[in-house]
Amino acid sequence: MTTTRFCIVRHGETDWNIERRHQGHLDIALNDLGRRQAMAAADGLAGQHFDSAYTSDLGRTRATAETIAQHLGLAVYDEPGLRERHYGIFQGRTVDEVAAIDPESHDRYRARDLDHDFGGGETLRGFARRVIQTVERLAAEHVGQTLLLVTHGGVLDVIYRHAHGRDLVSARDFVIPNAAFNWLQAGPDGWHVLVWADREHLQRALDEVA
């Protein structure tokens, strides 16, 4: 085979996800639902074969990845290139809170300005370059294999756009749920989304709790 197959999973839910508070590089733990989502993801991937597993080196992703990897008998490796974007002054704040203290940054965030760093964070252009370089490198290093990646919503946003040849500045019109399965394939003819935002395993887990 000349292709590399990926299952890319966003970390389980955190309290800041509920509050719509930017986490960025801040280390926020999974909440109770997030831990259950990680377990559901582990159950949902039972029987799947993975050659390697990589995770962002932040706590919420590593906790999700370790839960899955333990059930699959995998070692999991830190990959800092899969970190969420550094949001500068947005980190620890909601969009409305930033609007109150820095209207210019708020407006540039809304416009998806490619070159604004929000006061010491990453530009969208630089963040996307980092993410694409990371996944392209992993694809090249693991040709013919299937990889599990555990990462963040912003990273998945970039990967989805890259696979579809879409720009970075248009509004997001696709969902990126916590702990959903996103299956992609990379090869000589580029990247292709096979399945996006598969949440069947999460629904089964909720039904079992109910």
Q: Looking at the domain assignment, is residue 194 inside a domain?
A: yes
Q: Looking at the domain assignment, is residue 140 inside a domain?
A: yes
pLDDT given at position 204: 79
Residues 77-104 pLDDT 10s: 999 999 999 999 999 999 999 999 999 9
Catalytic residue chosen out of the listed positions 13, 84, 116, 162? 84
Return the CATH number at 60: 3.40.50.1240
- Concerning whether 84 is annotated as a catalytic residue, the answer is yes
Domain that holds residue 33: 4-87+123-209
Between the alpha carbon of residue 98 and those of residues 43, 106, 113, the distances in Å are 39, 6, 16
Catalytic residue chosen out of the listed positions 11, 86, 162, 201? 11
Q: What DSSP string runs through 132-192? A: HHHHHHHHHHTTT-EEEEEE-HHHHHHHHHHHHT--SSSPP-S---TT-EEEEEEETTEEE
Q: Looking at the domain assignment, is residue 100 inside a domain?
A: no
Q: Which of 24, 65, 34 is nearest to 147 (CA)?
A: 65
- Concerning whether 104 is annotated as a catalytic residue, the answer is no
pLDDT given at position 209: 54
Number of domains in the chain: 1
Q: Looking at the domain assignment, is residue 97 inside a domain?
A: no
Q: Looking at the domain assignment, is residue 92 inside a domain?
A: no
Q: Looking at the domain assignment, is residue 57 inside a domain?
A: yes
Residues 181-198 pLDDT 10s: 999 999 999 999 999 999
